[in-house]
A and B are shown apart, each in its own frame.
Chain A
């Protein structure tokens, strides 16, 4: 074999398309990932809050190319009979055909439903709720606030869960709802747009996702081309004092106890980064 390249050899781009797993393995052998990141490095993360004037609260989050917009709208409804003092919190994730060729038009797919459910389940972690629902009460048994948190993905490049949790946290922090009162004679709620107040929030939860490659390597913040190559993924959700809020492991690959411990340790570092991003993101 001479040193000249055979005319039948693949270019790097073709090799990546034809043999994605082999391509990936060859690059990882050099202790680096295809996009030049170290194994434990997350992509550049940007948080911009308060950018949508029509919403009560909003945030745009970019993790690498993954872009998620969260808008919060507040409306008034009757409370349920069994919880007459509690408002509603309704998070929904929209992964439309705009953000990637893998999503079709129509109702939310499995992934969007999964992320929506995860966001909703984060509300009920621990002793207190992310949004204090009792503070959304306008008049017991009559009227309460409904907080609609809608997350729209504009560009899907993997790790949608982290981006959604981050966008939701930043948007909730940015939210201000008008002071409202029930007019008993007329039976309608009037809101004073001039006098707004922030939501009562519990300290934030942030998520950090790690892909486990061949049961041995931990890769932080996998992107869309890496995700299908990971046998399993671990998502660590942490609360303010480093306490564990939720831990999700998906996929069937092997994952040792030490690796989970490692994920949690790395997530603690990531938490401080994200917390400072959110606290400096606010426009007001």
Chain B
């Protein structure tokens, strides 16, 4: 039992929807109609991005990103000295803690991090470490904390987190090779959709891709893919979207 938090009942559940609502949900329209998605986007359009740096004044660097309804805050602390018990490291270390706020998803998340959140933390580290000059930071650690305030598409949350974390690192003045721009793609009803919302993720998905890319170096830092797919067109669309995000970041930097 967790004695450090105010306790509620032992178990609680989300109530089931009414029969009528269930019937309505079963008869969903096709995700793309006349070349337009439910929110008026084309299949290969990302949602509008809002990005702000420096909102978390206590951190060395920070970024807040909105991707449609998806909202992610990211703070960087460091580079700071590695603790004694963490041992010696010739290269700098990157540590990431990714967390969904308990109210961020349709179903309430537990305040303690679950395996998915730990996996996402690792992915962010792997996606960003190649872009940072860690060889210049011996005996130090950079801490990266990411909190998702609203989840409108879990894959898009991860992509937004990678992008925001990269911008926050730049805001903290960490020496980097390039900014990392990330994007998410999914196949819904044999249709390639970029940057899926939560409503689109609710369709049966067999294929998805999260791509983190350094456009000016032309290097992929991380790629997470699942499902059978015709690879070349998916990679082309993913790359183009990363470049699009990157250009927005560059515009923000000016």
Contact = CB atoms under 8 A, between A and B. Distances in A.
Interface of A: 52-55, 58, 65, 67, 69, 71-73, 75-78, 80, 88, 90-92, 94, 96-101, 105, 107-108, 112-113, 116-117, 120, 146, 148, 150, 152, 154-157, 178, 180, 188-194, 224
B108 A190 contact: no
B208 interface: no
Given A97-B97, A98-B56, A52 B6 contact: no
A72 B8 CA distance: 14
Given A75-B12, A97-B143, A99-B56, A90 B150 contact: no
Contacts of B77: 97, 101
B147 A152 contact: yes
A101 B57 CA distance: 11
B56 A55 contact: no
Contacts of B9: 77-78, 80, 88, 146
B106 interface: yes
B84 interface: no
Interface in B98-144: 99, 101-106, 108, 111, 143
B12 A108 contact: no
Given A71-B102, A152-B101, 7 more contacts: A52-B71, A53-B150, A55-B103, A101-B77, A189-B15, A189-B16, A193-B18
Given A53-B69, A76-B13, A116 B97 contact: no
Interface residues of B, number: 46
A154 B105 contact: no
Contacts of B7: 90
B21 A76 contact: no
A58 B16 CA distance: 22
B58 A156 contact: yes
B75 A71 contact: no
Among B6, B103, B150, which residue has the most Cβ atoms of chain A within 10 A? B103
B48 to A, nearest CB: 16
A65 B57 contact: yes
6 contacts: A65-B57, A90-B6, A96-B147, A97-B145, A101-B58, A113-B4
B73 A116 contact: no
Contacts of B233: none
Contact of A154 (B19, B21, B73, B152): B73
A109 B111 CA distance: 14
A188 B15 CA distance: 8
B6 A92 contact: yes
Contacts of B150: 52-54
Nearest to B99: A96
Contact of B58 (A55, A76, A99, A193): A99
Interface in B174-219: none
A115 to B, nearest CB: 11
